[in-house]
């Protein structure tokens, strides 16, 4: 009896201490805590068109979107100056440490001819795959899709990038939803912002965002690819939304590559 009471007191004390010191549970190696930044795990079975880009030695460096059986849209800054022979597209692999899915060679890299740096726009590229992937693809937003870019629309972001600014990359595919911001909000954060080539997304208070290594990956709304992850100041910072390449204005130049 005394022993039971003793145990009870001990457990109350321990849990009280735990609630003081452990406001966030400690993350273990294969924990799935906060990611992209502020995201959760996702499966390529649900999002079959999300892919990652890797070097020939296998290291993941960016994301991308399958828009045709042999075409991937990504960011120009991910692949500008890269050789196709050192570039792979990895399809259907949630866990970078697994061998699931398919690794495809890249036969050609097209970078928007006006691309200079991510912050000046035109941050879009198309990879041609050496073989077709038997997979669902994601349609591109067209110039008629202005409604998809309405501020407040809750867009989906996906990637294998870092889970905090300056942190390490995620082992697993992660996803989150972020609201598109108005042009005025984005322009306040970034004087370089241009609504003819970019679109911003993020909560005013931050906390959820794409981050390093997510670049090139999809921003999705209304079942279409509306953006590709491009840049931002830090990641998930209040007042600094993520900036995405705006796909609709590039619809015809991209389509010409397909």
| Stretch binding ligand ARG (CB under 6 A), from 39-47, 100-108, 137-145, 230-238 | 230-238
From 91, 94, 112, 123, the catalytic residue: 123
From 91, 215, 228, 230, the catalytic residue: 215
Report residue 118: phi and psi, to 5°: -55, -40
Residues 180-219 within binding reach of ligand ARG (CB under 6 A): 209-215
Identify whether the C-beta of residue 137 lies closer than 8 Å to the C-beta of residue 129: no
C-beta of 148 vs 236, nearer to ligand ARG: 236
Assess 229 for contact with ligand ARG (CB under 6 A): yes
CB of 217 to ligand ARG, least distance (A): 8
Assess 38 for contact with ligand ARG (CB under 6 A): no
> Distance between CA atoms of 66 and 48, rounded to whole angstroms?
8
Q: Which two structure tokens, joined as six digits, stand for 150?
A: 């309405």
> Distance between CA atoms of 208 and 250, rounded to whole angstroms?
26
Assess 87 for contact with ligand ARG (CB under 6 A): no
How many CB atoms neighbour CB 55 within 10 A? 12
Binding test (CB under 6 A) with ligand ARG, winner from 161, 218, 227, 249 = 161
Q: Which residue's CB atom is positioned nearest to ligand ARG? A: 232
Matching residue, tokens 């905090």? 164
Q: Which two structure tokens, joined as six digits, stand for 189?
A: 């954060």
Assess 123 for contact with ligand ARG (CB under 6 A): no
Closest alpha carbon to 55 in 87, 91, 16: 87
C-beta of 68 vs 88, nearer to ligand ARG: 88
Number of residues this chain uses to bind ligand ARG (CB under 6 A):
13
Closest alpha carbon to 93 in 48, 156, 138: 48
CB of 29 to ligand ARG, least distance (A): 23
CB of 4 to ligand ARG, least distance (A): 53
215 is catalytic: yes
Closest alpha carbon to 239 in 198, 189, 179: 189
Assess 74 for contact with ligand ARG (CB under 6 A): no
Q: Which two structure tokens, joined as six digits, stand for 245?
A: 């390449």
Count Cα neighbours of 167 within 13 Å in the Cβ-side half-sphere. Answer: 20
Residues that bind ligand ARG (CB under 6 A): 161, 209-215, 229, 231-232, 235, 242
> Which sequence positions are flagged as catalytic?
77, 123, 215
């Amino acid at each position: 009896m005394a022993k039971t009471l003793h145990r009870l007191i001990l457990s109350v004390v321990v849990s009280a201490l735990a609630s003081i010191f452990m406001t966030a549970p400690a993350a273990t190696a294969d924990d799935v805590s906060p990611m992209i930044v502020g995201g959760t795990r996702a499966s390529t079975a649900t999002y079959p068109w999300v892919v990652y880009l890797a070097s020939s030695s296998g290291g993941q460096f960016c994301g991308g979107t399958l828009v045709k059986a042999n075409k991937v849209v990504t960011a120009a800054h991910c692949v500008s100056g890269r050789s196709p022979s050192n570039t792979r597209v990895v399809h259907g692999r949630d866990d970078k440490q697994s061998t699931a899915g398919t690794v495809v060679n890249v036969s050609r890299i097209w970078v928007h001819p006006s691309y200079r740096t991510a912050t000046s726009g035109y941050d879009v590229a198309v990879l041609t795959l050496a073989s077709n992937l038997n997979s669902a693809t994601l349609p591109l937003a067209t110039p008629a899709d202005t409604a998809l870019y309405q501020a407040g629309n809750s867009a989906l972001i996906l990637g294998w990038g870092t889970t905090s600014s300056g942190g390490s990359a995620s082992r697993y595919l992660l996803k989150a939803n972020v609201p598109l911001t108005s042009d005025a909000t984005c322009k306040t954060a970034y004087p370089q912002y241009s609504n003819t080539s970019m679109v911003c997304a993020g909560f005013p208070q931050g906390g959820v965002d794409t981050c390093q290594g997510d670049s090139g990956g999809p921003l999705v709304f209304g079942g279409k690819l509306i953006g590709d992850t491009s840049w931002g100041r830090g990641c998930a910072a209040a007042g600094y939304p993520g900036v995405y390449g705006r796909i609709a204005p590039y619809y015809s130049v991209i389509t010409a590559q397909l």
